[in-house]
Structure 1
């Protein structure tokens, strides 16, 4: 269900890398030349991504190197970047961890702003009414960057929509220190403002005040 998120953010980062490459001296006078398809392995399986190409064939992606096929530690960082509550500094920390220490600060800055734009579009997209047949509200676990070190595992709260045909879609991810009725009320208001008019069935835990927040 989260493959589309991983694909979108990875391709946005690679395109930002290409923009940075073409804007530097190494890529001067060079232009884009379409895309090539590549399959990489993450913790949850295969991920098909479109990698930008240039006419001089001088572009060497840093996020996923030309001959790299495995991407360990990828899933939890990508998923957490989509969660509301992640700061720009924390997302930059994620990217520095993914790219490694040998990448220039200018490249990290370029990719960070591209990723922030991608994340904002996803967070603010309409929550279509045809997803309101059923909604699951729960939490998944992922790592969260604090300063320069990885903190303990954090809870990323998730709203998972189920359409009438059984297809599923993640409507939102939220990073919150403490789960409570006020937090979920904020989530409900956001979903309503994004277009969810009614819910046929809500699957939740026994948190006090949760039903009232949904109502």
Structure 2
């Protein structure tokens, strides 16, 4: 409930609408703006402690990086802000949010500062980073996470591919590309990409080119233990 109320408050919703939200969530009494402010202040402390905690005690060989844009109140104005997040995966499969940051845009400088903050908190042992192909992000990864391989996010890649095909063919193309990632062995993964690229190339040379050009980054996961692929 508090998360919903806080979201409403940050977006400039009136006290009456906040009351309506609270009632809709099953509470009989309303809540004032001052109470929402107090809740937000308490959450700031907890979130700050979570965001600044040490990462030195664990090793996360796999790190996912992503971003989204949200509306936020900055200097009394509601503006669009980039929210970036890092999720680590241990060798045993345990996932954990490592950190997040909010800024005006997800440019290279912002990503670089964010990754450096993770390293300063003790992040180490990263072997593979998974993200989209945003230029500023990939440059930051290569500059800060030295020695880590880069895996192009297949979800983002698939969206890029589907933007190049007729809507009527999208489901078939998506299903064909997904078979690349269901193969049980590394050599079979690479062979399947070649098969699918050739098959789709008969309908769209551009899609074939996209698949073949992206292959080294799209299939980086295949160099790691098969038990970790999922």
TM-score (norm: length of structure 2):
0.46
**Larger RCO of the pair (alpha carbons < 8 Å, separation 6+):** 1
Structure with larger Rg: 2
- Structure ranking higher in strand proportion: 1
Bigger helix share: 2
What TM-score do the two structures reach when normalised by structure 1? 0.49
